[in-house]
């Protein structure tokens, strides 16, 4: 499901920024980006089961299954003729990568894939949270993310959030790409310069995941740098997309 209240689908030639949430997050994380986008894109977000409006639906435990399960709703929401920029952070990065393959296969124009806080799709995390329980699991997640969500300090909220967070970590850490073929769209890889979970070398591995252009950009901050730097992230996406469009225009006879 894609969430974007009050905005009709299928806006002709406009570009949609389709955001894919990280582990434990829902579409509401990206709601402030609509104002920050300042009319540059229509901003929407994938709404996965197990959170927010789909709280009662069982969460996915496999990234490829999640992409295939949501693609029909995503295509319907995008509408015919809409160009799409995909953005995903951490778990969202590999899910966005799978969606880029599926959208391209359906003829939906993907302008750029922006991945954040993630090693290349063929690299699995060595230190894991899946399989841990209770406080040990939460401590490992907090170590990975660099912060602790305040809702986890409330027992009732914790019991509600924990199953989806565990499922998200399981599917992220077990992720294996559905294909060894790279995408044919440009990739921009973003990283917080103090990210202790993903090295600069790992973030640059995305170069091998595309047959088109590749860019790498670092921001001040740790793994969750984007919490405070949404405007700067959007500025980079706009800059890289504009440069790609300019190069395409210059290449035309």
Q: What 8-state DSSP symbol labels residue 120?
A: -
pLDDT for 127: 67
User: pLDDT means per 10 residues in the chain (253 residues)?
Assistant: 47 79 90 90 94 90 97 93 93 97 95 97 78 72 64 72 83 93 97 93 98 97 93 94 63 53
Q: Which CATH superfamily is domain 2-121+177-248 in?
A: Alpha/Beta hydrolase fold, catalytic domain (3.40.50.1820)
What is this structure's pTM? 0.88
Domain parsing of the chain, residue ranges? 2-121+177-248
pLDDT for 5: 40
pLDDT for 237: 94
pLDDT for 251: 53
pLDDT for 160: 76
Task: Identify whether the C-beta of residue 240 lies closer than 8 Å to the C-beta of residue 186.
Answer: yes
First and final CA of the chain: distance in angstroms? 40
Nearest CA to 223 out of 98, 127, 135 is that of: 127
1-56: pLDDT as tens digits: 665 543 433 344 579 999 999 988 889 999 999 999 988 899 999 999 998 899 88
Task: Identify whether the C-beta of residue 179 lies closer than 8 Å to the C-beta of residue 211.
Answer: no
Measure Cα distances from 232 to 30, 41, 98, 116, 236 in Å.
14, 15, 25, 13, 6
Given the structure tokens 């499901």, which residue do they identify? 1
pLDDT for 150: 67
């Amino acid at each position: 499901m894609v969430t974007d209240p009050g905005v009709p689908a299928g806006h002709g030639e406009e570009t949609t920024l389709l955001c894919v949430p990280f582990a434990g997050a829902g579409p509401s994380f990206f709601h402030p980006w609509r104002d920050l986008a300042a009319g540059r894109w229509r901003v929407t977000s994938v709404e996965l089961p197990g959170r927010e409006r789909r709280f009662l639906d069982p969460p996915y435990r496999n990234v490829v299954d999640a992409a295939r399960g949501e693609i029909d709703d995503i295509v319907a929401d995008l509408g015919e003729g809409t160009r799409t920029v995909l953005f995903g952070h951490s778990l969202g990065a590999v899910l966005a990568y799978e969606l880029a393959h599926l959208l391209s296969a359906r003829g939906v124009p993907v302008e750029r894939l922006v991945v954040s806080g993630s090693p290349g799709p063929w690299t699995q995390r060595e230190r894991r949270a899946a399989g841990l329980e209770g406080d040990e699991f939460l401590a490992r997640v907090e170590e990975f993310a660099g912060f602790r969500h305040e809702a986890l300090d409330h027992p009732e909220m914790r019991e509600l959030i924990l199953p989806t967070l565990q499922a998200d970590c399981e599917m992220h850490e077990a992720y294996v790409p559905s294909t060894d073929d790279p995408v044919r769209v440009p990739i921009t890889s973003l990283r917080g310069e103090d990210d202790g979970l993903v090295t600069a070398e790992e973030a640059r591995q995305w170069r091998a995941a595309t047959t088109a252009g590749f860019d790498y950009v670092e921001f001040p901050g740790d793994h969750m740098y984007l919490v405070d730097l949404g405007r700067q992230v959007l500025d980079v996406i706009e800059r890289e997309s504009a440069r790609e469009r300019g190069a395409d225009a210059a290449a035309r006879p």
